[in-house]
Amino acid sequence: MILLEKTKFLLYPYPLGGVYRFVHPPPSPVNKKVDCVPSPESARFALLGFELVGVDSFKVGFKDESCGKLHSVATLDGAKFRSLIPSLVARAAAAGESLIVRPEASNLIQLDDLSSDALDRIQPFAFISIETSPENYQAWVCVSVTGAARDALRRRLIEGVGSDSGASGAVRWPGSLNCKPSRRCSDGSFPVVDVPWFRGDVVTTPEQLEVAGLLAPEKIAPVNPPP
């Protein structure tokens, strides 16, 4: 088993199903505060998860949560994004803004606002999970279809697992602060977006999702009878 020690985390291949996890240090029985310290290590961990399914283009920007405006948007390849992660995470934290990233690929499906039960159901088929704030989860699925077939699959999967149909394909990036006002902690700080696990090179077929019972029934347009 490969063991890589990070500044705050341990990264290792999980023995069941090839799931890679960040292993947090054991929680202190005295201090159980939400982690509010930005983590470039976690940001790089998430980037690796997307790279392993072939994503190498990322649209990166900063969101002023007071007005909802996205600014300073740039498209970066994986190598450039990785090199800039420390400065991007630090800049967002200093400005009190959220670091927003849109992974650019035609075969990804973002499942947002998942319950823990729904996350467990989708885990065998998702390549990464993201905890945007405590107990608020996303999962991302890399599918074997693109275009109209992917769009139809996305609609059925979102309905089947009960996730947010308004998911835009952009995410507050792991390792950065979620500066959305409604996520502010009681002490005035903001939580760090977390990435609990990724599964590596996982491409899922529509048939796998169908067999697992994760897809809503396909909607067939009614055929008008001939006059």
% residues pLDDT > 90 (the chain): 72
C-alpha 33/C-alpha 221 separation (Å) is 51
* Section 60-71 average pLDDT: 96
C-alpha 106/C-alpha 98 separation (Å) is 24
pLDDT tens digits, one per residue of 32-48: 345 688 999 999 999 99
C-alpha 24/C-alpha 8 separation (Å) is 7
C-alpha 115/C-alpha 72 separation (Å) is 32
C-alpha 55/C-alpha 198 separation (Å) is 14
> How much is the mean pLDDT over the chain?
86
For 87, the enclosing helix (H) or strand (E) is helix 78-95
Q: What torsion do the CA atoms of 60, 62, 65, 70 make, to the nearest 10 degrees?
A: -70
pLDDT tens digits, one per residue of 10-36: 444 433 345 666 544 433 333 334 568
pLDDT tens digits, one per residue of 112-146: 999 888 999 999 999 999 999 988 999 999 999 99
Four-residue CA torsion sign, 47, 101, 147, 114: positive
Pairing assessment for the beta strands 171-172 and 98-103 based on DSSP bridges:
antiparallel
Residue-level pLDDT at 102: 98
Residue boundaries of the structural domains of the chain = 18-23+35-211
* Section 159-185 average pLDDT: 95
Provide the whole-model pTM: 0.84
For the structural domain made of 18-23+35-211, what CATH number should be given?
3.30.70.1790
C-alpha 133/C-alpha 122 separation (Å) is 19
Torsions phi, psi for 158 (to 5 deg): -60, -45
Residue-level pLDDT at 118: 92
